[in-house]
Amino acid sequence: MKKKIWLMVAVLGSMFATSIASAADTMYVPIPSYRVGPYAAGGTGYFGGILDYYNLLNMRDGGVNDIKLIWSECETEYSVERGVECYKRLKDREGGAVFFDPLSVGISTALIETGRKDKMPIIAVNHGKTAGQRGDIFPYYFMPGINTYDEHSIMVHFIGDVLEGGRSNLKGKKIAMLYHGSPYGREAIAFMDSMCEKHGCTHHPLEVPHPGNEQQSQWINIRKLKPDYVLLRGWGVMNPVAMQTAVRTGYPVSRLIGNIWSNSDEDVIPAGKAADGYQAITTHPAGTDFVVIQEIIKTVYGAGKGDLQDKSRLGSVYWNLGVLAGVVHTEALRIAQERFGNRPLTSTEARWGFENLQIDAERIEELGATGLVPELSLTCLDHVGGHLAKFQQWDAGKRQWNIVSDWIEGDVPLSQAIIDAGAEKYAADNAITPRPCTTDNNDDDFDL
C-alpha cells in the first residue's frame, strides 16, 4: 500500500514538474471572444485573425522569441457583464495573463480601473475610452491605431477635402450621425458637435437602440431633415439594415459614410445591391495579397489549424484587422523581451512593451505586412500612436472594396484639447496623480 502511495506521489510530482516546465516556455493570452449573437461577424473575424497569426508564430517561429503563445476562450456575447466575468475567470490562468483584448468599448471601459488595480494591460484596437490616450493617467489602457476623435475628424475631413472639393465647403452642410445605442455609439456625439462648430456645419445625432435591426423611425427623421451626409456609427446587424433602409427611404448610399466598425464585408454583403457605392473609413485594406497572409494560408490553413470555418472570409476586413491586432500584440511582447529578456513576461512587463511599441516601415516589411499594417508609435502620453486612415468604397457587382483616398489625418489639436480635459477631469474625480512622462521611458519604475 505504501509503495502505491509513493508511486502516486511520484507521478503527481512528475506531472506538476512537467506543468511548470511547460509554463516556463509559454505566455498566456485570454481570448474574450463573441462567436454568437448579433455581433458574431465582428467577433469571429477579429479573434479568428488573432488566433491565426498566433498559430503562425507558434508553428513557424516557435512563438515570440521561442516562447509559445497559449490561450483559452470565453464567450462574452459582447455583453459588458459577461466580459467582466470572463476577465475575472481567465486573468490568473496559466500563471497569469499578459494582457486582455475584448474588442468592446463597454467591456474595455468597465475594466479600466480593474486593469490598473490588477496591473493588467487592457487593449482596445481602434476604439475605446478616448481620454485613455493619456498614458500618464491611464497607464494600463491602450488603444493602438486611431481613437474615436481621430476617426470622426478624419470622416469630416474626407467629406470636406474629397467629396466637397475643399474643407471650407463644409460650411452650411447638415451632417447626421446614426449611432449605436451604447457607450461606444455615444462617445462621438460631443466631438462631432465641436467639429461642426469649427467648420460651420450642423450635427444631428440619431440613436439606434441595440442591436439595430429596426431603424424605420430614424430614417423617417432623416428624410425630413434632408442631411447632406449621414455618418454611420454602427456595429453588427445595424449596418446592413441602415443601407437597406436608406435605399427604401430614397437616401443615396454614396452619402452614407461608415465608421471603423461599419466597414466590413459582413456589413455590406448582407445588404446586397443596397450597399453599392457605400464608403467607409479604414486603417487597413481587405484582401489576401500580403506576404504574411499568404504565410498564414499556407502554414496554418495548410495544416488544417485555421480558425475560420468559412475560408471565403480570409482577407475580409474583420479578419485582416485581427491579423493586424495579432501583430500589435506580439510586437509589444517582442519589444518588452528586448528589455526584460527572451522569456515569458509578466503583465507589468507587457505594459511597458505596449507603451514603447514602435512599428516602422522597415519592421512592417520584415513581418511581411507592408500595405496591411500601418506605422505605429506609442508613448507614455500617447497610447494610440496612429491617427491616420484611408477610405474604401464597396463595389457590389465585383463584391470588393476599393481604396478611394490617400491617408487622411485627424484634427489632432482639437482632439488633444478634448482628450486632455477629459483625462484631467477623470484624474481629479478619481484622485489619480498623473505620473511624469519623461523622454526616457526605460526607467526602472515600469511596475506602475
Residues 298-355 have pLDDT tens digits of 999 999 999 999 999 999 999 999 999 999 999 999 999 999 999 999 999 999 999 9
Is the residue at 11 inside a domain?
Answer: no
pLDDT bin (cut points 50, 70, 90) of residue 49 is very high
Residue 260 shares a structural domain with residue 292: no
Per-residue pLDDT tens over the stretch 341-361? 999 999 999 999 999 999 999
Between these two residues, 365 and 15, which has the higher pLDDT value? 365
Quick one: 43 and 138 in the same domain?
yes
Average pLDDT over residues 441-445: 58
331 located within any domain: yes
The CATH number of whichever domain residue 231 belongs to comes to: 3.40.50.2300
Work out the mean pLDDT of the chain and round it to a whole number: 92
Q: Are residues 266 and 296 in the same domain?
A: no
How do residues 153-197 score in pLDDT, each as one tens digit?
999 999 999 999 999 999 999 999 999 998 889 999 999 999 999
Tell me the mean pLDDT in the region 229-249: 96
Q: What gap in Å lies between CA 387 and CA 285, rounded to an integer?
A: 16
More confident position, 425 or 39: 425
446 — pLDDT class (breaks 50, 70, 90): confident
38 confidence band (pLDDT: 50, 70, 90): confident
Is 263 within 8 Å of 317 (Cβ atoms)?
yes
Q: Are residues 270 and 192 in the same domain?
A: yes
Mean pLDDT to the nearest integer, 52-62 = 98
Note whether 138 and 167 are within 8 A (CB): no
Is position 446 within any domain?
Answer: no
Both 32 and 95 in one domain: the answer is yes
Q: Indicate whether 240 pLDDT > 60.
A: yes
Task: Convert the pLDDT of each residue in 375-433 to its tens digit.
Answer: 999 999 999 999 989 999 999 999 999 999 998 999 999 999 999 999 999 999 999 99
Residue 442 lies in a domain: no
Nearest-10 crossing angle of helices 40-56, 317-340 = 40
pLDDT at 441 over 80: no
**pLDDT above 80 (res 19):** no
- Confidence check: pLDDT of 222 > 90: yes
Give the containing element (helix H, strand E) for 18.
helix 2-23
> Does residue 339 fall inside a structural domain?
yes
Indicate the pTM of the whole model. Answer: 0.88
Q: Give pLDDT tens digits for 91-145.
A: 999 999 999 999 998 999 999 999 999 999 999 999 999 999 999 999 999 999 9
Tell me which of 6-20, 36-50, 220-234, 387-401 is least confident: 6-20
**Cell numbers describing residue 431:** 484622485
| Residue partners of 45: CB distance under 8 A and separation at least 6 | 264, 266, 308, 313, 316, 317, 318, 319, 321, 322
pLDDT over threshold 80, residue 1:
no
Q: What's the number of domains the chain is made of?
A: 2
289 burial class (0-12, 13-18, 19+ CB within 10 angstroms)?
exposed
DSSP string, 370-392: TTTSPPEE--SS-S-B--EEEEE
pLDDT at 8: 37
Helices (H), 58-205: 80-90, 105-110, 112-118, 148-158, 183-186, 189-199
Residue 347 lies in a domain: yes
Both 345 and 275 in one domain: the answer is no
Whether residue 161 sits in one domain with residue 65: no
Give domain status of residue 405, yes or no: yes
- Asked, for residue 268, whether it belongs to a domain, the answer is yes
What's the mean pLDDT in 429-442? 82
Question: Is 256 found in the same domain as 136?
Answer: no
Query: Is the same domain home to 184 and 219?
Result: yes
Residue 438 has a pLDDT of 75
Question: Residues 407, 411, 414, CA angle at the centre, nearest 5°?
Answer: 165
Give the structural domain span for 256.
148-282+388-410
pLDDT for residue 2: 37
Quick one: 132 and 154 in the same domain? no
Are 221 and 271 contained in the same domain?
yes
Rounded (5°) CA angle 40-42-47: 95
Is 70 in contact with 29 (CB distance < 8 Å)? Answer: yes
Same domain, 41 and 126: yes
List residues bridging with 174 in a β-sheet: 202
